[in-house]
Structure 1
């Protein structure tokens, strides 16, 4: 093969590689863009435990039955008069705190209804997702307080204008106590563990769940 032919062949190969790399780069950029779009939508959407369970329920009659019970119970959860006065800084705060108290009631109910069903891994996964959605809304509301008031701790007496009640049990002030109690009961009875809310060796488990289950001594053989 003459040097000229070799040179032309080398140039052609280089051009082909350049096109291949450009095509691969464009493909990966598109995939990254799609992933970023999905993450943006996921992060922007408000946490909604009930809607998530409703979507994944499918043909699971037990799950659907629990979902209906807890949806009815959550609909009855409302802010007290004192809490309502404390959050009337803006419509967003009142609406968000109202939604959060309903989400907390839903997930607390979800964790308490027919606990033996959590011997099944899919049921534990549904609970983990419901808790994740609740915590998502919980943290979104704390961020909203910071935006509305400039306070890093939300909500506190300092975040409430003079003349309002310094209510310490506003839903976003702390993780719902009834939900914490129900999760601890499940863990104590051996139905769930921190690892159900995260990946390998509980890596990725939300800090709020880790704190809620701290010090729990689980019984063995519950699901036998």
Structure 2
């Protein structure tokens, strides 16, 4: 059915030729009976029925071979689509993650700013320098809840069960996406001053949202590009439509 829709003009032309040519030749036969000139004498000696039957048989064989080639191509495409079903599902899920994480990240950036500070042997921390603490904390918590409701477990399951069908280049990006879902909580740094506690909460939440956007997009791009390249390979091997 797909081939008919795609090549309907060619099929209509073939049917017109199949009906029109015999009708034209029979009209010439009728016009040349009785023989009225040299052209008619030559025409009536020409076995056009035999020639037309030969061409019709050749055309039928060509159409059959073409149909077989197109069916093989379609079967190969269906096989590739089946092989890539789960990776493509993961790519779709990760694109949804990125679309959701992007505005959340932008919202957090607008709510407050952090400043990098070094606290001696304790290491590097981030201090909330602008923004209301409770507002920032509430926004971070809501962002984390929103992201946890968007099927990271789907990607994790596909990563674990269908690793062999996922393009190798995408695996590292998928792993980064999954790691980014391990958000910190507000109480992790409660031993520090409130400005550090809230600053770290904001910094880590925003950073992980940014990582989800970046790495999920990269992974989805690689998977979808690999799928299209596989389809192009089938197209090249079987020839143009």
For the pair shown, the structure with the greater C-alpha radius of gyration is: 2
Instruction: Flag the structure with more relative contact order, 1 or 2, with Cα contacts below 8 A and sequence separation at least 6.
Output: 2
Task: Confirm or deny a common fold (TM above 0.5).
Answer: no
Q: TM-score, normalised by structure 1?
A: 0.31
Larger strand share, 1 or 2: 2
